Chain A
């Protein structure tokens, strides 16, 4: 499949999954109303390795704004997505395998192994969720709540992202 078409399709799929399924979830309910499941950052995670950094940022911004329109929170998801897109090259640099990346490789578990992908996704998801909750609260007095939310949402989001990777197992 054409890589552009594939990524447009993934963009729409993840956006709809996020706003129609995971936004409506209220897992803990009641007093533990902290858990948020974010799956859409996976789109940024799975963009091709040779994509320019500026494209990465613009696509991240577009995705974040699209999610924001459904969440009624202009700028909150977008700021987290742009930051995630910005640090992705640095995370890839830290996790670079011996001998470097192959040309035309895709950052998937099929290409680099499950362990590598979990580390890659974890680093980016922690940054994404932390930025998201900070931007949502927009005040430092809630820092403990922000950290608590980041931890529980990180665990639930990673489970969902792992499921996505197992079910679809994208190779590119």
Chain B
């Protein structure tokens, strides 16, 4: 007994080491299977608060970029408005009771963003109180940023498209063949498109847009451009490299896509009753 106690006293730290490593690896594995370890995420109150205040200081250093982005967007919206006014003046508007609003955009600000890891996440200021919900898409003027995975009262955290677990349904604008867009790490402007069948007509320079099949993103948002592709022997699917249209590192103000029919579509698609 005395020997046992001596042994434990002398080598107890080895057991402690093994226990702590088991805890760590348990966390890594559980986290990878998308379990809810909410207190360890950046949307919790403490880390969210720190990031928010830090970001409001840091923002000053990129005011030029932000103003530029917003100015471009303003210009585009003004152009659109001009087009609508022209239609109205000519008396061409028709109020159609069959058309309705499916998507609503909620503005938000990115307060924490990372592109250097293999599994990147971002945090936005704007949570449940602002209308954010889990599963909503996050977009920016020239592309898509990611999908919300956790929402707290004032913050929301999302999985960036620069994350190995992220899959976005994208289609080729020219002929509507579609596949899954994913990222393998490394260059933050380069992603891959999988599951495009080999009979599809693919060409370098083809524009990719969101397919609109999921309830997350509307159809037709810019995603990127095909830079090269290959067909491996024996494979039925193309291996396609895509240059992303969005530079996630420079995303400051984003829009959260609220699909007003999301629930209806999900219920319809998951309902297995005959």
Contact = CB atoms under 8 A, between A and B. Distances in A.
Interface string A54-90: 1011100100110011111111101100110010000
A138 B121 contact: no
Given A58-B16, A72-B121, A33 B115 contact: yes
Per DSSP, are chain A's interface residues mostly helix, strand or loop, or mixed? helix
Contact of A33 (B20, B40, B116): B116
The 3 closest A-B pairs by CB, nearest first: A75-B27, A79-B24, A53-B13
A57 B20 contact: yes
A72 B46 CA distance: 13
A3 interface: no
A121 B114 CA distance: 27
A165 interface: no
Nearest to B162: A33
B224 interface: no
B189 A69 contact: no
Given A33-B188, A74-B27, A68 B40 contact: yes
Interface string A26-42: 10011101111000000
Given A33-B188, A82-B17, A136 B117 contact: yes
Contacts of A145: 185-186
A152 B16 CA distance: 32
B28 A54 contact: no
B222 interface: no
B21 A74 contact: no
